[in-house]
Amino acid sequence: MAYITLPTFVGYSTSSGPSRSSFVRRWRRQYEDPARGGFNFYLRAANAIRAGRSSGRDREVMRALVENADERTRPHYAEIANGWLRYLGRRDLRVAEVGRSRWRLGALEVGINPHLGLRKGDGPVHVTWLYFKEEPLSRDAAQMVLWLLEQTMDELRPGGRPLVVDVRRAKEFALSPRDRDKVKPWVRSEASAFMSLWEAAA
């Protein structure tokens, strides 16, 4: 059985050519030796977004995130803070609890860990995954995440709706019925291809 995180699966799906093999090989080495695990560059940003929205003090918390960052992380956190505040705008979004799950295909497990739940008024909870990287999130990658969130929604938040936000660009993505039918075979083929490379990296 192989286990990967959702960001790792997205990273794999957006790579191409020989870099795919190298990507999987690096992840397998980390999987076999957890001590190799890297620093989660965006964990502080995700925690700050949750804290700011929970307390209603988004601007203060985002300001603190940037001011307390070191020289390497400050430019990235500044873009994230500005993007998140633009995304919020006049939206009145309350934080809701969401769970965690795993999506399985054959011997592959993908950890599905949304960052938070967001609810507007009396509407449904949007089970939300945040994208923080400098490179724009492609529509295909966003559709993959949305589909995987939807597949495990009963465990994440029964009755919830999947949502992906490219934070730096204040851009949200949602899944349409037409997209759903196209995404399913592609995600499954990506998972199968990942496992082929995983086994080859043994």
Structure tokens that stand for 5 in this block: 């995180």
Mean pLDDT of 54-76: 95
- pTM recorded for the entire structure: 0.92
What DSSP character marks residue 15? -
* pLDDT above 70: percentage of residues in the chain: 97
Token reading at 165: 């936000």
Measured over the CA atoms of residue 13, residue 15, residue 18 and residue 20, the dihedral's sign is negative
The closest alpha carbon to 73, from 134, 164, 11, 137, belongs to 134
Condensed to tens digits (0 to 9), the pLDDT of residues 123-171 reads 999 999 999 999 999 999 999 999 999 999 999 999 999 999 999 999 9
% of the chain beyond a pLDDT of 90 = 75
Could you please report the per-residue DSSP string of 106-153?
TTEEEEE--SEEEEETTS-EEEEEEE--SSPPPHHHHHHHHHHHHHTH
* DSSP state letters, 151-201: HTHHHH-TT-EEEEEETTTTEEE---HHHHHHHHHHHHHHHHHHHHHHHHT
User: Could you give the CA distance from residue 66 to residue 148 in angstroms, rounded to a whole number?
Assistant: 32
Mean of pLDDT over the chain: 92
> Is 90 exceeded by the pLDDT of residue 54?
yes
* Cα gap 184→182, rounded to integer Å: 6
How many residues can be counted in the chain?
202
Tokens 């919020």 — which residue? Answer: 88
Residue 127 φ/ψ, nearest 5 degrees: -75, 115
CA atoms of 20 and 193, how far apart (whole Å) = 10
What pLDDT was estimated at residue 38? 54
